[in-house]
Structure 1
Amino acid sequence: MRSKDTGGYSKGGGKRRRLNVVLSMFVIAISFLIFEYSLSNNDKDEVQLRESDKPATLVLLVGYSDSASVWSRDVVSYAQESFYVSEPLKMLLPDGYYKKHLVCFNNNTCRPPQSQTEQEEFVIHTFYRLFTCKFSNLHPESMQNILEMYHNRVPFQYCSSEPSWKSAECIEEMERLCRSKTHRVIMTIQLSMEIVNNMMELWSNLKIVHIVQDPRAVIHETEYSTTDNDVKSYSSNLCSWMNDDVQFVRRLQTKYPRRLKLVSLEALAESPFSAAGYLYEFLDMFLYTEKVWFWVYTNIQNMVKRDFYKMSRFNLTRGAHRRRRHLSFQTVEVMDKFCRDT
């Protein structure tokens, strides 16, 4: 009799436990949906600039290879009034770039986003937090990139040693430095102009420098110029991307004539001093001083010591065109086939 009673009690307890589990899962699911709804609405509100951020000039340098953006990046970031960040998305999407509702790769493939960090909304929120100096809200991989760039270059009180440069105090110091600058500059080679257009609609104080380069030079700088199949795939992907972007930029220039410039790396290489002045004028950086001019002069001579074009004195132009001396005729033929329109 006791055994039957115990068995009956256990059976009833099992039903109650299953019911409790189901109810708990239901409550968790409802809570998660409420949280997601609340988060999405907060995110929509979040990307609107605060009044304190509107006087700042937001600058986005968009290119297709590291070398295509290095010179303009350096000359702009050297300005006293700028806070500069490089490639905040690189650790999150290696060897790829973001298009509207897609992520694409150098092997000529695109696919729908598969995670939160691949969503267009995530990209826009990341750039918003960078432009508004909200570094404590960034994805850890993006924050890591900024910390590694700045903790040794600026004598922050809390960022002078390895254990402390990831601390909340260090991040707060960097946020204060960012807010003290009139120009907040980000360089990226991982955005299509479709997403940039969305940013321009959101932030009226955003200016774009779109840097284009001969695609044959871009391909030459990558590891994709080793075999015919690599060259075909990468040429097709890169030139399709570049061509779409340039056509998009032309439409945007009619809409935002004072906020977007399309510049050629080869043109910058031909006249680096006037190019620096041109960029400063467009970005309202009025401190194109003798110090900056001297930096441009010195920078050109010392490029051989850096990972740029391995330039020697006064051969900036030669560096921009060096692919002509290194690519085989057969490789150029393949590139020309896929990049003719570009």
Structure 2
Amino acid sequence: MKHPVTIARLVIGVFVCLTVVFVVKYVGCNPAQYLKLNLDTSTGPSGEEPRPVSKSADHKPETQGPMSALPQHTENNSSNSDPEVKVILLTYMRSGSTLTGEVFNKHPRVFFFYEPLWTVDFSFIRAKEPAFFFHRDIMKHDPKDKTQVRLLKTNIISSILHCDFKHMYTQPLTDPLAYLKSRTLQPFKQCKDSHPGLQGLYGCLPVLRQACTSAKVIAMKVVRLPMELAATFLKADPKVKVIHLVRDPRAVLNSRRPSGISALYPQTARQFCDYVAKDLKDSIPLKQQFPGRVLTVRYEDLAQRPLAFSSRLLTFARLDMPPAMTDYVINMTSSNDVRITEKTFETYRRNASLTAASWRRTVQFDFVQDVDRSCGELYSLAGYLPLDSQSRLRNMNEPYFEDYRQAPIKLWDD
């Protein structure tokens, strides 16, 4: 009979060997793969913890046992049902973009993705969480590397435009806000909820790809994307179109204050207006280089005539306005109930025209003066008018923007 110490050593040796095999097979001997990735930390279908995917390009999650019920990936990512048009709604936080995005989100032939770049700023930059990919190395945040953020944003936008979610930075696929705001992500969410964990997330990607490739139009609402970067997608894919949505900076900056976003005026006003003005100027040569593919719009025009300009947005994307969409736009924007118009991040604006100008009733005049002095170039480009007295500010019949046909930059007419 073997000595108890010998048996114990034998058991320990076997355990160590099995551990080494597990690490080599599933983790690729890369300790960084064990980092907490802030994905779904619940257990998988069979009770196992989420397992990081190997960085090997040939690796695929297990599909035996409980995972076999998941949709399976194929090696060929090409599709004969590539959407006809791919729309990037480029805009800024608190610019009326939620209402504008809903015009696409509610259309039955559109695959809509809500703010996929959100997690770059809030997870990767601010929270310092590493960026995780299924088939690539983890990317850790390096504040000295000026290319990381651009690469991540390019990866996300390109992946959605090509319905290629296998190679996409994964955090946008786990963002609860995207599920809440994107109608076409609901089947993917239901699949993911039924199969939690990293393997479940990967296994449900065919559901997302099917929703994407079967749509006539891909549309996404993005903030934090400069026009100069959007130009790369216009050059790379003839199906890509850009809608550039702007709003009166007095409304934007005033709207940001109740949400807890700190601001130092007039410095913040100048920075914001210079950023938007640069995007507008960058769009001018793009309209010449890509005729019919770049459209500049003002939220005030959409709010003033929601049905006409919603139809114009859909026409730009080569979509019709079905009767149900007509009723939806009317119900969403034309009610006399204005009690909820001041809710922060409210989606349904019960009188879009009143909401667009509601800032004039409460904003302080010295704030308006600061913005007027800081944003002259943006005003001249987009057709906004200064309000140089308290009486003019409060007089709702006093215009604060020019007719879109009179603005120096082409608005609504591509």
* TM-score, structure 2 as length reference: 0.60
Give the Cα separation in 1 of the matches to 2:182 and 2:372: 44
> Contact 1:151/1:159 (CA < 8 Å) preserved in 2?
no
Which amino acid is the alignment partner of residue 164 of structure 1? H
Give the Cα separation in 2 of the matches to 1:151 and 1:280: 17
Give the match's secondary structure for 1:119. helix
- Mapped pair 1:200 → 2:234: yes
- Mapped pair 1:164 → 2:195: yes
> Contact 2:244/2:294 (CA < 8 Å) preserved in 1?
yes
Give the match's secondary structure for 2:204. helix
> Contact 1:89/1:190 (CA < 8 Å) preserved in 2?
yes
Segment of structure 1 superposing worse, 158-167 or 81-90: 158-167
1:61–1:158 distance in 2 versus 1, CA, 3 Å: closer
Residue of structure 2 equivalent to 1:79: 107
RMSD (CA atoms): 3.5
Residue of structure 1 equivalent to 2:172: 142
Residue of structure 2 equivalent to 1:180: 214
> Shift of the alpha carbon at 1:150?
7.8
Give the match's secondary structure for 2:266. helix
Correspondence for 1:127 among 157, 162, 177: 157
Correspondence for 2:368 among 314, 326, 332: 332
Give the match's secondary structure for 2:96. helix
> Contact 1:66/1:189 (CA < 8 Å) preserved in 2?
no
**Percentage of pairs with the same residue:** 18
> Shift of the alpha carbon at 1:310?
7.2
Correspondence for 1:297 among 330, 344, 362: 330
Correspondence for 1:316 among 352, 359, 370: 352
Give the match's secondary structure for 1:94. helix
> Shift of the alpha carbon at 1:226?
9.0
1:231–1:150 distance in 2 versus 1, CA, 3 Å: closer
Residue of structure 2 equivalent to 1:251: 285
Residue of structure 2 equivalent to 1:18: none
Residue of structure 1 equivalent to 2:23: none
Segment of structure 1 superposing worse, 217-226 or 200-209: 217-226
Give the Cα separation in 1 of the matches to 2:107 and 2:183: 19
1:205–1:310 distance in 2 versus 1, CA, 3 Å: closer
Q: Residues 178-210 of structure 1, C-alpha deviation per residue, up to 9 Å, x if partnerless? A: 111111111111111000111111111001110
Give the Cα separation in 2 of the matches to 1:65 and 1:228: 14
Give the Cα separation in 1 of the matches to 2:212 and 2:297: 27
Give the Cα separation in 2 of the matches to 1:65 and 1:243: 15
Give the match's secondary structure for 1:191. coil
* TM-score, structure 1 as length reference: 0.71
1:211–1:96 distance in 2 versus 1, CA, 3 Å: farther
Give the Cα separation in 2 of the matches to 1:158 and 1:316: 31
1:223–1:62 distance in 2 versus 1, CA, 3 Å: same
Larger RCO: 1 or 2 (CA < 8 Å, sep 6+): 1
> Shift of the alpha carbon at 1:228?
10
Residue of structure 1 equivalent to 2:8: none
Which amino acid is the alignment partner of residue 256 of structure 2? T
> Contact 1:228/1:334 (CA < 8 Å) preserved in 2?
no
> Contact 2:155/2:169 (CA < 8 Å) preserved in 1?
no
Give the Cα separation in 1 of the matches to 2:188 and 2:119: 27
Which amino acid is the alignment partner of residue 248 of structure 1? D
> Contact 1:310/1:319 (CA < 8 Å) preserved in 2?
no
Kindly report which structure 2 residues correspond to 1:276-295, keeping only aligned pairs within 5 A, or say none.
276-286=310-320, 288-295=321-328
Q: Which runs of 5+ in 1 are unaligned?
A: 1-27, 29-38, 40-48, 98-111
Correspondence for 1:213 among 247, 251, 261: 247
1:329–1:309 distance in 2 versus 1, CA, 3 Å: farther
Give the Cα separation in 1 of the matches to 2:89 and 2:348: 22
> Shift of the alpha carbon at 1:160?
5.3
> Contact 2:113/2:182 (CA < 8 Å) preserved in 1?
no
> Contact 2:113/2:220 (CA < 8 Å) preserved in 1?
yes
Give the Cα separation in 1 of the matches to 2:266 and 2:280: 21
Which amino acid is the alignment partner of residue 89 of structure 2? L
Give the Cα separation in 2 of the matches to 1:227 and 1:152: 28
> Shift of the alpha carbon at 1:122?
2.8
> Shift of the alpha carbon at 1:169?
3.2
**What count of residue pairs does the alignment treat as equivalent?**
280
> Contact 1:83/1:181 (CA < 8 Å) preserved in 2?
yes
1:222–1:285 distance in 2 versus 1, CA, 3 Å: same
1:157–1:281 distance in 2 versus 1, CA, 3 Å: closer
> Contact 1:69/1:187 (CA < 8 Å) preserved in 2?
yes
Give the match's secondary structure for 1:222. helix
> Contact 1:92/1:117 (CA < 8 Å) preserved in 2?
no
> Contact 2:240/2:293 (CA < 8 Å) preserved in 1?
yes
